[in-house]
Chains A and B, each alone.
Chain A
Amino acid sequence: EPEVTQTPSHQVTQMGQEVILRCVPISNHLYFYWYRQILGQKVEFLVSFYNNEISEKSEIFDDQFSVERPDGSNFTLKIRSTKLEDSAMYFCASSEGRAAGYTFGSGTRLTVV
Chain B
Amino acid sequence: EVQLVESGGGLEQPGRSLRLSCTASGFNFGDYAMSWVRQAPGEGLEWVGFIRGKAFGGTTEYGASMKGRFSISRDDSKSITYLQMNDLKAEDTAVYYCSRDVYSSGWYFQEKWGQGTLVTVSS
* A complexed with B: no
